[in-house]
Structure 1
Amino acid sequence: MNRSNASRGGVAVLVLAGGEGRRLGGGKPLRRVGKRTLLDHAIERGQQWSDTVAVAAKSADQVGNCDLPVLIDQPGIGGPLAGLASARLLDCPLVLTIPCDMPFLPDDLMARLTAVLGNEGASLASSGGRIHPVCGLWRRESLMQLPAYFATGRRSIMGFAEVIGYATVGWDDHWFVNVNTPIDLAQAERRID
């Protein structure tokens, strides 16, 4: 393993692709932006940051013919927290989560989240005064607290970050464009072209 790959080995990237995408008419991970799917864009970005990339989904058919490990969401947990629960299966001390529906994430996401992590359980991206917990660097050991968190009945990914402690890093809004509707998809298409 060369030096550049060795520095990438301690972090896994988990692409969160379990959302139903109702406002987009369903099938969000496989919707195309440019010549590739939203999932392809996220995987490519994840592979820039780590040699260990996996996808979290409600079912394997959500992600089509994905060549990466697909971690199936734990039943009874909705939203991005279900994907985060799957991250406990990854054998790396740190896990970076990214959503499949943000195709323009900044190149320095991993570096800046790593720089502020300190002793916190997670470091989270923010923009325009809003925190994006789906774009977060999580200590795997902190994720082991999820069963106790679930036992309280809570299901918020931000609430879990508050329990384990987190730092934030801010960017400009244009990096965290979320594709949720046909209009968002059309705007992302124009931006890719």
Structure 2
Amino acid sequence: MTDPCVAVVLAGGAGRRMGGGKPLRTWGETSLLTRALILARGYGDEIAVAVRDADQIGGEVGVPLLFDRPDVPGPLAGLASALAFARSRGATWVQLLACDMPRLPDDLTLRLAAALRSNAKVALPASNDHLHPICGLWSTTVEPRLADYLAQGRSSLRGLAAVSGEVVVDWGTVQPDPFVNLNTLAELHAQQPMRRQA
């Protein structure tokens, strides 16, 4: 894609089903957060991490920290801070990604951007009959609409995409699913990458 894009890792969830501390949980030889940052570097010209509190990521991570607005619920808070960050950087697009989706495809942003039409402000990936709005590519022109959306008491990323003009990019029926979302310790353990042989 030729227009400037920032990639923002969403790491502000409480991770209760994993016992808390999700971004710092081990993924192979690193952490879920570090893995997400590696992916993000392939998606955007600049990257940042959105959190509710800096303690969620254990300190400095070498990229800007964006703090979720306390009055905005769920992942929509991360999108709000991501859109504001992108605007401040003069970027046109925001690629969201969640810190608990470590197998995202390398060509995520490229495929989403290629599917955008002139009237579409959001491109969402889908796989195995599931939509993944938390990994969407969002135009910064959605930001003013977000304020109206929140004023209506709405809080769904999916809903905001629908009212903003969306296109869906389907990865089809794929196994292993590159959009696997790890919510529990059992899922994290089951999905761990193979360790390298010494």
Structure 2: unaligned runs, 5 residues or longer = none
1:125 counterpart residue number: 125
Output the aligned Cα RMSD.
1.3
Task: Give deviations 1:71-116, integer Å, cap 9, x for gaps.
Answer: 0000121211110011122221000000000000011111100011
More helix by share: 1
1:14 counterpart residue number: 8
Aligned pair partner of 1:34 in 5, 28, 38 = 28
TM-score (norm 2): 0.90
TM-score (norm 1): 0.92
1:4 counterpart residue number: none
Aligned equivalents of 2:63 and 2:2: distance in 1?
Answer: 17
Structure 1: unaligned runs, 5 residues or longer = 1-6
Task: Give deviations 1:133-172, integer Å, cap 9, x for gaps.
Answer: 0010000011221111100000111110111010011122
Indicate yes or no: 2:70 matched with 1:67: no
2:186 counterpart residue number: 183
1:87 counterpart residue number: 82
1:169-180 alignment, distance < 5 Å: 169-171=169-171, 172=174, 174-180=177-183
- Give the Å deviation of 1:177: 1.1
- How many residues align? The count is 186
Instruction: State the percentage of identical aligned residues.
Output: 43
- Give the Å deviation of 1:187: 1.3
* Other structure's SS at 1:184 match: helix
Aligned equivalents of 1:86 and 1:158: distance in 2?
Answer: 17
* Other structure's SS at 2:73 match: coil
2:99 counterpart residue number: 100
**Residue type of the partner of 1:121?**
K
1:152 counterpart residue number: 152
Aligned equivalents of 1:192 and 1:80: distance in 2?
Answer: 30
**Residue type of the partner of 2:71?**
G
* Other structure's SS at 2:7 match: strand
